[in-house]
Structures are given as C-alpha cells and as structure tokens.
Structure 1
Amino acid sequence: QNISDTMMVLPKLSTGLDVNVRFTGVSDFEYTPECIIFDLLNIPLYHGWLVDPQIPEQVQAVGRLSYNQLVEKIITCKQASDSSLVSEGLVAEQFLESSASQLTFHGLCELTARAREGELGVFFRNNHFSTMVKHKGHLYLLVTDQGFLQEERVVWESLHSVDGDSSFCDSDFHLSHAPGRAGVTPDPPDHRQQQSQVDQDFLMALSLQEGQLVPSVLSDLELARQLQHEEYQQPHPHPHPQP
C-alpha cells in the first residue's frame, strides 16, 4: 500500500510536497502521503521550528498541534468568550510571530544533536526543502540559489544561527567567499515578513470559511500587502561578480 501511495505522490515532486510541521520535535510532522517517500527511501526529514520547553505557557498553548491546527486554534480562541482561551490564543499567536523564520534556538540545538555525523537529510523551512549534512559537528545546507550557479567555491552554507548569519564553504567544507563578495554575506530573505504574510492569509481564509472575519487579522493583512506592494515598487539592484 505504501508503494502504491508513493507512486501517486511522485508526480507532485516537480511542483512541491505538502508537509505540515508539529512543534514538538525536529522529526515531527503531521503524517501525509508525501511523508511516505522519505520513509521508504530512508531519508530523514527535519525542521527546526520547535517550541521552547522552558516557556510553559507556550508549551501549553501549542501542545502537539500541527501548524494548520494551531492557526485554527488561534481563530477559535480569539472568538471565545472565555478570557483564558483568548489569552491562550494570544500566546500561540505570539509564538508564531516571534518564530516567523521557522527556526528557533531550541530547534537548532535539537537539530544539531539529532542529526548524525555524515548523514544526508532534508531540511524543511519556509516551504522550501534543502539538502542538509552534518560535518564535524556542524550543519550545512546545499546551496541551490541561481545567483551562485557559476561560483564553483560556493557549495555549502552553514546553518548555525536563527538570524540568517551564515558562511559559505566549498565542497570540502573550507570557508570561501564568492568573487566580488569577499567577506560579505548576502542579506538573508526576510523570513519574518514572508511567514507573517502566510499566517495572515491563512487566518483570513479560515475566518471567511467560518463566515466571520477577525478585524485585527484583516487590518494586519492589509498592512502586510501594502508593505509588500511598496517593496515591489522599489528597484532591487543585483550585484555582479567583478572580473
């Protein structure tokens, strides 16, 4: 049955897979047919979006819910008449906002501890799948950005910070800099703004489905779209490697 399910999922590989994280462990995902592929091929699938066990109110608010379930809970709690439920919903929402990069410090620590030395795995973050390897106790992601297509010395990118501060390495994991970028690490994408937009879109869609629209969700969504529109209107220069 698993093989049959996998054959049905394979055509989706060209357009992306549907996975839904749980915030309790780096290997915890809501089980979907897409996950069968990783199981059959014995390829570990990881993420680093974990709730900090040292923050009990967040642990209680998030629980073992998946991302989609947590967003639904936030909407339900916001509309509740019970103040304790409203408070719990706000705590859950604050967790999503504070970890919009989808990588927490606790998650990074757990990820480093869980991954095995020399093991190739897949790291899921911001709806993107990356090849990940652990080399001499450090995590690295395979660089697939088109901007580095001609940079032979840029193969791996270190994963050692939740803030996007990373270094590039060659195929032997020696520190390297792309020509024209010596000593400079390109600005990471604004994962917080991207994820905030996704969260607000999802919240609004669920609210509309239920026949009610949360005012704060709508105002935040309008603001996010306005900021995104202004950003698109601004020119974005692209640095070119120097000869």
Structure 2
Amino acid sequence: MSESRYQLARAQFNGVNKFIACQLSTESSPLIALSNYFNLTVGPECKDFPPFAEESMLSKPIMTALEYTVSHYAKHNISVPGFLNKERLLQIVPSLAKGLHLIPGCRRCQDFIACDELYLFYVLNIKVIHGWVCDPNDKEFFSVLGNCSRSTLLKSISRPGGLAKLVEGTSNPSSLSKKIQKFAESGLTKYGLRILHEEIGERQLAIICINDQFDVIYKCSGDLFVLETDGHVLTKFGEALWKRLTLTEEESFYVTMHFDPVKGQKNIHKATEWLERKLSDVDDCGDKGKEQASKKGRDRSSQVSNVGIWGDKAKGRGS
C-alpha cells in the first residue's frame, strides 16, 4: 500500500527558509502539526524542496527526536516513569497521520486525560494545550462541572435526564442547562482563549488541540495565530500563512509569515487594524525606550558631574 503524499509550501520563519506540510482533508492531523513544529523550530534551511512529501518524510524528524531523547535518558541513567518505553512511543508515530483522541479537562489549558499519545508530546518537550476551559469566577457553573473531562461531560448530558440531574438544586436550572450544553459542544471558550493568551509567551510556539484537530500556534504582538495548513487556502494566496485565533470567523484574519496583512482576504480591514495597533505599540515602546535611554543618559551625566564636583571639593579640602 502506497504512502499518503502531502503538499509542501514554503514558509520563511525568523528569516530562515523552511517548508511546511499541508493537510489532506479538512482535519489537521497531529502528524502535520508535529512535523511543522519541528521544521519551524529545529529544521534545516530549505531553499529547494519537492512539491510533495510522503508520510515517512514527515515522520522522520519525530522519530529522530524520540530516538535521541530516549537514548539521552538511558545514557545519563535518568530515572523516568514506566511510560517512557522506546518501543511503545515509536509505535505511536505511524498512527499520528490517522489522528489522536486527546481528552481535555475543564480546569486548565494543559489538562488532558493521561494516555500514551499524550506522553509523546511530554517526552518531546512540546507544549500541547487546549482552550476548553471553564471560568472559575462563574462559581455555580464551575462548581457543577467539577473537575470533569469533556468526554465525561458529554456522556453525562447525553443520558436521559442526565443534564437535569446535573443542574438539580441550582439557582437557575434552565439557564445553566443551556450554558452547560453550549460549553460541552464548544472546543474553545471565551475564558479558554484568555487563558491561552496568558499561557503562551511572546514568540513562543506550541501545539493546540481543539476538537481533536492539532495545529501549531504562535504568539506575536500579544495575539495568537494558528499556522494555516489548508492546501486550498495556501494555493489561493500563494504562500504560507498564519490565521488569528478567535472565537468567531468575523474577528479572524490571515497574515503572512512576516505578519503582514494578506491582500485579497475577506477580513482585510481587521488585519490592517491589527497591524496599525502593532506598529503603534512598537512606536510607543520605542518612545518609552528613548525616554528611558535619555533619562539614563541624564542620570549618568549627573553622576559624572557630581563626581567632578565632589572631587573638586575634596581637592579644596585637601589644599
């Protein structure tokens, strides 16, 4: 049986020519996300590359990283949990193209139900996060949900009378039922998006999992962007792109790998507004930097003058 072939696209990241792989369907697989993560972070410069790559080519950097990590642990006699089994981890890699089912917990964006597939990310030292997070300030809602996982909640409300039992005794069962239903069906919540902004540092790469779709995510100028891997979109605009992570498509837009607005897109006005804010922030930082530098210069000048004054006085006292 022949391997699947993936379309490749040029992506200049941090001034270095790289390539990224595009997804085969509407779902973004963990193989694509992990392969692109490695290519952007530690992959070599690629001025020329084929238009397509087979699955084994995308898996190779992941396998190499696993081999190195496990060997490093063994070489230095580092005590590791039992899950760090080389054979088991290497067996997971071929299944990445078919997708993974990671189950998020509702309390924190890094909470997932433990499984071998999740350990793969931990071993590779890659931050994997989600946005299905409940707001603790909504105390009744937070209390009713408890420390549940998404699968547990979906099972509970799918049972006959399950949702009614969950909200029994609350102040407004009808309103809370609707809120729980909406929360269970969502992959990214308003509070979850806010927490993701706090969790990911500026210029940091991570992998985000929303409804079992995996994507590379990056923070630039305080905003979160997901690496676009839809081949049709990349072909339309002719280059690799970032897409702003938002709750609605109306607020989202595309930017280039250099974070310039992409011409011809639907929400070009949103992208332009974002760029103007970004440039304004840079100018503000520059002005503040100039003020601080000027102040430091005045302070240093004052210190030099004071040294001179006290030196003269010291001489005067000594004469």
Report the 3-state secondary structure (helix = DSSP H, G, I; strand = E; otherwise coil) of the residue aligned with 1:70: helix
Q: Does 1:170 align with 2:252?
A: no
Alignment of 1:91-102 (within 5 A): 91=176, 94-98=179-183, 100-102=185-187
Paired residues of 2:106 and 2:134 also in contact (CA < 8 A): yes
Residue 35 (structure 1) shift: 0.3
Report the 3-state secondary structure (helix = DSSP H, G, I; strand = E; otherwise coil) of the residue aligned with 1:133: strand
Aligned to 2:93: 10
Alignment of 1:14-93 (within 5 A): 14-75=97-158, 78=161, 85=168, 91=176
Amino acid across the alignment from 1:122: I
With a CA cutoff of 8 Å and minimum separation of 6, indicate the structure with the bigger relative contact order: 2
Summarize deviations over 1:124-174 as a string: whole Å, max 9, x none: 112211110112222110011122232235510112x31232111011111
Residue 123 (structure 1) shift: 0.9
Aligned to 2:198: 113
Residue 74 (structure 1) shift: 2.5
Change (3 A) 1:86 1:146: farther
Residue 53 (structure 1) shift: 1.4
Residue 28 (structure 1) shift: 0.8
Aligned to 2:37: none
Change (3 A) 1:174 1:62: same
Change (3 A) 1:131 1:81: closer
Paired residues of 2:253 and 2:267 also in contact (CA < 8 A): no
Report the 3-state secondary structure (helix = DSSP H, G, I; strand = E; otherwise coil) of the residue aligned with 2:141: helix
Report the 3-state secondary structure (helix = DSSP H, G, I; strand = E; otherwise coil) of the residue aligned with 1:12: helix
Aligned to 1:156: 242
Paired residues of 1:26 and 1:110 also in contact (CA < 8 A): yes
Amino acid across the alignment from 2:145: V
Paired residues of 1:158 and 1:166 also in contact (CA < 8 A): yes
Structure 2-normalised TM-score?
0.51
Alignment of 1:112-151 (within 5 A): 112-150=197-235, 151=237
Report the 3-state secondary structure (helix = DSSP H, G, I; strand = E; otherwise coil) of the residue aligned with 2:268: coil
Task: Name the structure with the higher helix share.
Answer: 2
Paired residues of 2:261 and 2:268 also in contact (CA < 8 A): no
Identity %: 23
Paired residues of 1:20 and 1:67 also in contact (CA < 8 A): yes
Count of matched residue pairs: 183
Report the 3-state secondary structure (helix = DSSP H, G, I; strand = E; otherwise coil) of the residue aligned with 1:140: strand
Partners of 2:162 and 2:255 lie apart in 1 by: 49
Q: Does 1:104 align with 2:189?
A: yes
Q: Which range moves more in the overlay, 46-55 or 71-80?
A: 71-80
Partners of 1:51 and 1:57 lie apart in 2 by: 11
Summarize deviations over 1:160-202 as a string: whole Å, max 9, x none: x3123211101111111347x57389xxxxxxxxxxxxxxxxx
Amino acid across the alignment from 2:203: G
Amino acid across the alignment from 1:157: K
Structure 1-normalised TM-score?
0.65
